[in-house]
Amino acid sequence: MMIMSAVDSTFFTLNEVATVIWQAADGRTPLSDIVARKICPEFEVDPDQAGRDAEQFVSELSQHGILLVSEEPILPASTEAP
């Protein structure tokens, strides 16, 4: 899978693990859950190393404006009038 930053036109070619993270990044699921429930079982990797690698990957995408990193779930804006 390839993704591109709309901010600086940087292209990223994602490997299998990065693709799983990208596809699971829904704004609600913590990265730690993605690693524990998807990455570790599917790729049989050490959870600590997988977590560090995932954080580095997400940080890099965040620096290019591709992903928004938040400590809280990102919920869609309400379309209802107050």
Render pLDDT for 46-71 as a digit per residue (tens, 0 to 9). 999 999 999 999 999 988 888 878 77
The structure tokens listed for 13 are 């070619």
What radius of gyration do the chain's Cα atoms show? 14
What pLDDT is attached to residue 31?
A: 94
* Per-residue model confidence (pLDDT) at position 79: 52
9-42 pLDDT tens trace = 888 899 999 999 999 998 899 999 999 999 999 9
pLDDT above 80: residue 75: no
Rounded distance between C-alpha atoms, residue 67 and residue 80, angstroms:
26
pLDDT at 13: 93
The predicted pLDDT at position 8 comes to 84
Phi/psi at 16 (nearest 5 deg)?
A: -60, -45
Q: For residue 35, what are the contacts with CB-CB under 8 A and spacing of at least 6?
A: 47, 50, 51, 54
